[in-house]
A and B are shown apart, each in its own frame.
Chain A
Amino acid sequence: MKKQDNQIKWTRKDLLDLESLSKEEIELILTTAESFKEVSKRQIKKVPALRGKTLVNLFYEPSTRTRVSFEIAAKRLSLDVINISVETSSVRKGETLIDTGKNIEALKVDVIVVRHSSSGAAALLARHTNLSVVNAGDGWHEHPTQALLDIFTIKEKLHRIEGLNITIVGDIAHSRVARSNIWGLKKLGANVCVCAPEMLLPYEVEKFGVKVTTDLDEALKDADVVNVLRMQFERDIQSAFPNQLEYFKKYGITEERLKYAKKDIIVMHPGPINRGIEISSAVADGLNSVILEQVTNGIAVRMAVLFLVVSANEYLKR
């Protein structure tokens, strides 16, 4: 890092997206995460960084991996953690998102981690409360911590982002992971390629400044990294792909497919993986795969994010 970069400070009380972050802010999260990674390797996996603060995981969509990752990250920072899932909360009784947020604020909580099916839900909470809000996925909009941990993992493996060729394959149209990855990677200077069947590409996707192709072989040809998105077959894509096998034939990442890619291509997946739908077991478990390392890195990245936003909000309140 250049010297002047060291001087940048984190001033946001929330992390809602990567679109609005500067390159320097993203780099600050990554370097902060590097220093937190070591905590998880200790005998006693805990630092008192945010002792006495409280975090609420507010999940309106089912999620195990992201919620648990945030919970572990929080606990390693000595945060007290409460989990609220929609099935057990008063949301079922018709409470609005803003009211839920204000009630949580009234309980003197410091940070909310929110997952919601509506794009912009995290922004709505952030605007209407003084809490720190971390977006754990809002609709099709963004999932910033997933992209940050993806970027962190790539950087750990290849020691840079700038100039790398990174391909994202799958349902780009409905993917918040894709949007956050595109913003983050572009800001750090990567060449991003998105690959999907036509109907799973969002409108004017090329305006992100990405290469767009429907041909997987072309997308893999010069790729240093391939990030494979989870296919959600409940969506209305049956017309294009009568069954999952058809999709796997055309867009599944297999050893056969990777023969034409760079030998040391890195294979990533945000999980949970659908073996035999978007990725073969051989690739998911193979030497190129960093899927489980992503999971491990998620802890350090989320520790960094929680630490930065809560500290900034503390400062802003003063």
Chain B
Amino acid sequence: MKILIKNAKVISPKDNLDDVLDILIEGSVIKDIRKDINLNVDKLIDAKNKIVMPAIVDMHVHLREPGREDKETIASGTMAAVHGGVGSLLSMPNTLATIDCIENVRLLKDIISKNAKANVFICGAITKARLGKELTDIEALKEEGVIAISDDGNSVDNEELLLEALKITKRLKIITIEHCEDKSISKDGVMNLSFVSTCLGLKGMPKEAEYKRVKRNIELASKVDAPIHITHVSCLESVEIIREAKKRGLKITADTAPHYFSLTEDAVRTYDSNFKMNPPLRTEADVLAIKEALADGTIDAIISDHAPHTENEKEIEFDKAEFGVIGLETELAVAITELLDKKILTFNELVKKFTENPARILNIDKGGLTINKTADLIIVDPNKEWVVKKDFFFSKSKNSPFIGRTLKGVVNCTIISGEVAYSNFD
């Protein structure tokens, strides 16, 4: 199968591409990228006024399978991924059975090989059952194909354990991802601690719970000179700590999710649990700080933290509802709307946060448009406005905080390994 994409604005920072070009795909690889390719092909796509970029690399996704197939499956989650322009994703280990042993990795790999419509990479747990008591066999997990480790949802409280894990991951050249939350501070809070939580009568989670743990983790990583990745940064103080650490030349990287640069805690005033996530939505000042951090490179990557939950778990009392929101299908559009349109990032920088940077952090050969390499790319209409509706989502769950919002930017087509995985072209 030969696919020719004509007249697209091709942007791939990894390959220094930023020009109107044609792209020829043959089989599973990109065969040529240059001006004026004219050939007889099986499929010709005119992408005039559209952007072609590498498919998104989303390094923080919860696919829920095995165990909670009522929320999401590998099949539905990867359908949602390609619908949102995500070609590669890192599947977090906090499934019902934690991905903390090779048997579970094998089980997951088996489901992925049968059902995945996008590239699914596996993140293993740092500690068994993510309980923070005993390290997993990280080396064995790696040999089985795990490319990162995290106790996501929990932070590793025990410093010695985390240090040990950092030494191992440094030697194995895989990345440790930390969900930064000191639960002795956040306790049973359900939203950001602030005057808003006071008004709403909801228990607050102080920002200290996040940034003190960010600080500790950076110190630990620097002790053993190991890289560490801080996920879902949500507040100003964390940004400042990371910025400072980067200045000192430490091997630290960080990501944030679209809700942290587009929504504030004021959204919780409706008691709609689609605005309940962990870390929680913060204040206007934090949103500004996150945007600044994206602009100056303090935050390297944008993730979805796609966290599907059923209506039974969400359409209930706010304090009893699950934490988390879906995001695979809206992350690019929210970023275009909030970062590109508001001139926080150029398109080139935006693409970098979604592709080159996460691929580099995960050390995977993705996130680029390179001749003779696998063709994972998306065609995007960056100017089209649309209103997010519940029935838009391919995800099994509909817990999006963006329902009802007008966003800019539509993914027209997602090509994975040279095949059209999703397209809304007629």
Contacts and interface: CB of A to CB of B under 8 A. Distances in A.
A141 interface: yes
B194 A116 contact: no
B38 to A, nearest CB: 57
Given A96-B312, A118-B317, A118-B318, A141 B195 contact: no
B218 to A, nearest CB: 27
B202 A120 contact: yes
B180 to A, nearest CB: 21
Most chain B CB within a 10 A radius of its CB, from A118, A127, A128, A139: A118
A203 B197 contact: yes
Contact of B198 (A98, A128, A202): A202
Interface string B12-39: 0000000000000000000000000000
B201 A119 contact: yes
A282 B230 CA distance: 60
Given A96-B316, A118-B317, A176 B198 contact: no
B320 A119 contact: no
B315 interface: yes
A123 interface: yes
B237 interface: no
Given A96-B312, A138-B201, A203 B193 contact: yes
Interface string B306-337: 00000010011111100000000000000000
Contact of A119 (B202, B270, B315, B316): B202
Given A116-B317, A139-B319, A205 B198 contact: yes
Contacts of B197: 203
Contacts of B200: 119-120, 141
A98 B270 CA distance: 15
Interface string A112-125: 00001011110110
Contacts of A119: 200-202, 271, 318-319
A99 to B, nearest CB: 10
B315 A98 contact: yes
A97 B321 CA distance: 12
Contact of B319 (A118, A179, A205): A118
19 contacts: A98-B316, A116-B317, A118-B317, A118-B318, A118-B320, A119-B200, A119-B318, A120-B271, A121-B317, A123-B271, A141-B200, A141-B202, A142-B201, A176-B201, A202-B198, A203-B193, A203-B194, A203-B195, A203-B198
Interface of A: 19, 96-98, 116, 118-121, 123-124, 127-128, 138-142, 176, 179, 202-205, 207
Given A97-B316, A120-B200, 7 more contacts: A96-B315, A98-B315, A120-B317, A124-B316, A138-B201, A179-B201, A203-B195
